[in-house]
């Protein structure tokens, strides 16, 4: 997994609307990357729903949140609509998991990203990162707020 102090690898991925989003688009702002296994799983649904509830508090701290999984943009759009979330969901679809691999989140034997949070500072450096012990456990919002407080 990527470590604090490392430069955040740049990327460009399509979002749920098929629009390209690059990490470079957020230069000068803090970004929280939320890697998750796949759309529509019960644990992913719970994770993104809880993050949506606290998203205004995260935004108050000057942080933009982006979800990333190996699903296709069409799946992201349906997932976003089903959950009622407005967090951009980026498709690390092809080449599959390339961005997750760059951040050390991809699980080769399973074919998707683990639940990994990566906070990137305004200069494009990893300020904090957390990886769940397993894809079945999502990091609580308290971990995000603890990272933002430190």
Which pLDDT tens digit goes with each residue over 59-93? 999 999 999 999 999 999 999 999 999 999 999 99
44 counts as catalytic: yes
CB atoms within 10 A of CB 67: 25
Residue 52 lies in a domain: yes
Containing structural domain, residue 133: 28-149
pTM attached to this predicted model: 0.97
Which one of the listed residues 23, 44, 68, 120 is annotated catalytic? 44
CATH assignment of the domain containing 67: 3.40.30.10
How many structural domains are present in the chain?
A: 1
Residue 46 lies in a domain: yes
Per residue in 104-149, pLDDT (tens digit) is 999 999 999 999 999 999 999 999 999 999 999 999 999 999 999 9
Cα angle 4-10-11, degrees, rounded to a multiple of 5: 130
Residue 13 lies in a domain: no
Residue 15 lies in a domain: no
CB atoms within 10 A of CB 46: 12
Residue 1 lies in a domain: no
Residue 11 lies in a domain: no
């Amino acid at each position: 997994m990527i470590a604090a102090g490392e430069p955040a690898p740049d990327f460009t991925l399509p979002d749920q609307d098929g629009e390209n989003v690059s990490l470079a688009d957020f230069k000068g702002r803090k970004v929280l990357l939320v890697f998750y296994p796949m759309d529509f799983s019960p644990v992913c649904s719970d994770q993104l729903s809880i993050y949506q509830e606290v998203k205004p508090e995260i935004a108050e701290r000057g942080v933009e949140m982006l979800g990333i999984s190996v699903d296709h943009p069409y799946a992201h759009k349906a997932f976003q609509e089903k959950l009622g979330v407005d967090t951009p969901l980026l498709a690390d679809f092809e080449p599959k998991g390339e961005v997750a691999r760059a951040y050390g989140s991809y699980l080769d034997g399973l074919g998707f990203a683990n639940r990994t949070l990566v906070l990137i500072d305004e200069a494009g450096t990893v300020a904090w990162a957390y990886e769940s012990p397993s894809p079945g456990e999502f990091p609580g919002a308290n971990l995000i707020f603890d990272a933002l407080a430190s």
